[in-house]
Amino acid sequence: MKTRNLVYLFFSTLLIGSTAGMITGIVLDWSEYWADLKNGEFISFLIVMLWLLGVSSIFSLISQMGFFAYLTIHRFGLGIFKSVRLWNTIQAVLIAVTLFDLVYFRYAVFAEVGESVVSYILIALFLLIVGVIVAYIKQKETNKQAFIPALFFIVVVTTLEWIPGLQSNDPKWLWLILIPLLVSNVWQLLTLHRLIGKKA
């Protein structure tokens, strides 16, 4: 990839991920921020926006590190197993394990007595649905072998990057961390092949 394209990918991902996180943070506490605005506390609101932008930029950077780490791992996987089909099968198994763990372990650790497992399933299902949609787009724009790697990246790598939020189990932090990660990952995945001009 040309240096110009690499710089573009870095800064565009940083901007898009940070902005998505800032908007998410504002939406989650909109009633509180709206009350501040009505009371004329514009400076406080601006400070909060800048804070959300800064925090979200950290997770956007984590997303970028995860993306390039996965590109390296993907190449190693192809080299070790000598077969795209075998490597994709292994990734498919890891996707299933990750989704199961995302539900089972969080429910086992954080669920209150009598609490339903549905909310834990919904989060994993949301991530899977986004992954399938993005992987389908990636496949259509590149080749059919790209579906599983794209799904793996969105589900497994995003989950690994999301661990700080998953450990806190605070609903606001869950989404405040997930959205910039997910938006950044989706953007990178669907932008890379356009920048390098390859159907791969």
Reply yes or no on whether the pLDDT at 4 is more than 60. Answer: yes
How far apart, in Å, do the first and last CA atoms of the chain sit?
13
- For 75-95, the pLDDT digits (tens) are 999 888 888 899 999 999 999
Cβ 157 vs Cβ 130: under 8 Å: no
d(CA 163, CA 175): 12
How does residue 1 score in pLDDT terms, banded at 50, 70 and 90?
low
In whole angstroms, what is the distance from residue 44 CA to residue 101 CA?
40
Q: Alpha helix (H) ranges present in the chain?
A: 3-28, 30-38, 42-81, 84-110, 118-141, 147-152, 158-161, 163-168, 171-196
Domain span at residue 141 reads 3-196
pTM: 0.90
Dihedral sign from CA coordinates of 63, 68, 69, 70: positive
Contact between 189 and 134 under an 8 Å Cβ cutoff? The reply is yes
Which residue type sits at 150? Answer: A
Q: pLDDT at position 198, please?
A: 59
Q: Which residue has the tokens 């589900």?
A: 155
Whether the pLDDT of residue 127 is over 90: the answer is yes
Higher pLDDT, 43 or 37: 43
Helix, strand or coil, per DSSP, at residue 129:
helix
The rounded distance, in Å, linking the Cα atoms of 148 and 190 is 14
Residue 176 near residue 188 (C-beta atoms within 8 A) = no
14 and 60 Cβ atoms separated by less than 8 Å: yes
Query: What is the pLDDT at residue 200?
Result: 47
Number of domains in the chain: 1
